[in-house]
Homo-oligomer: A and B are copies of this chain.
Amino acid sequence: MKTIKIPEATIIRLSVYSRYLAQCDRRGIVTISSNEIAEGVGVSSAQVRKDLAYFGEFGTRGVGYNVKDLHRHIMKILGLNQKWPLVIVGAGNLGTALSMYGGFRERGFHVVGIFDDDPNKIGYKLNGVEVFPISKLKEVVAEGGAKIGVITVPAPAAQEVANALIESGVKALLNFAPVVLSVPPEIELRNVDLSVNLEILTFNLGYRRGID
């Protein structure tokens, strides 16, 4: 049971590299150095090499990396060499926006169901995906093979929704509600708090600026 600890920061950067490589590939670039990647995405070249070194040797000394190959390798590392069906709970503005968000589909994520407890929304189709009542969660997750659940309900409902998603068989949760969820350790959980990002900006505009 060897566990090599990989920094989360590395995963985030791999995701950025993959997008940059895809762009280079579209431009017809065949070979690229760690330095060029570094400049393209705004990190150091040593960082690029270290990040890649966690997963193997993908380059050729004296030459660089083959763009297509490296891109494919990174996509595989990120688990994006397959489709990822997912469900969204909460058909409010954010849930609706996410269900139509092109950036997901591009990377292999596709929405198999959206859920809401508002009877007025049930049956509607958003971007071709039906809005179901929460009672259908288990059924749709199973049929669609969804391993990921996205939570876009108001904070007070989020824990309950998380429980229902886990109960229905989902293995990973992406939570947009500004609340700390408690889930069993085997469930992968990530929180995205949209306000936090604005608050880092306001902190930097105010406090940090004041003391420099």
Interface residues of A (CB under 8 A from B): 1-4, 6, 8, 11-12, 15-16, 19-20, 40-42, 77-80, 84, 86, 92-94, 96-98, 100-104, 106-107, 109, 147-148, 154, 171-172, 174, 178-180, 188, 190, 192-208, 211-212
Which residues of chain B are within 8 angstroms of A100 by Cβ–Cβ distance?
A: 93
With A103-B178, A107-B195 in contact, is A203–B93 under 8 Å at CB?
A: no
Contact, CB under 8 Å: A206 / B12 = no
Those 4 A-B pairs whose CB atoms lie nearest each other, nearest first: A79-B202, A97-B97, A79-B206, A93-B97
Which residues of chain B are within 8 angstroms of A154 by Cβ–Cβ distance?
A: 102
Contact, CB under 8 Å: B107 / A198 = yes
**How far does the alpha carbon of A203 sit from the alpha carbon of B6 in the complex, in Å?**
11
Contact, CB under 8 Å: A103 / B15 = no
With A16-B180, A80-B199 in contact, is A101–B194 under 8 Å at CB?
A: yes
With A80-B199, A180-B20 in contact, is A204–B97 under 8 Å at CB?
A: no
CB-nearest residue of chain B to A41: B180
Which of B6, B106, B192, B199 is A15 in contact with, Cβ under 8 Å?
B199
* Shortest CB distance A15–B (Å): 5
Contact, CB under 8 Å: A198 / B101 = no
With A78-B202, A199-B79, A201-B172 in contact, is A194–B2 under 8 Å at CB?
A: no
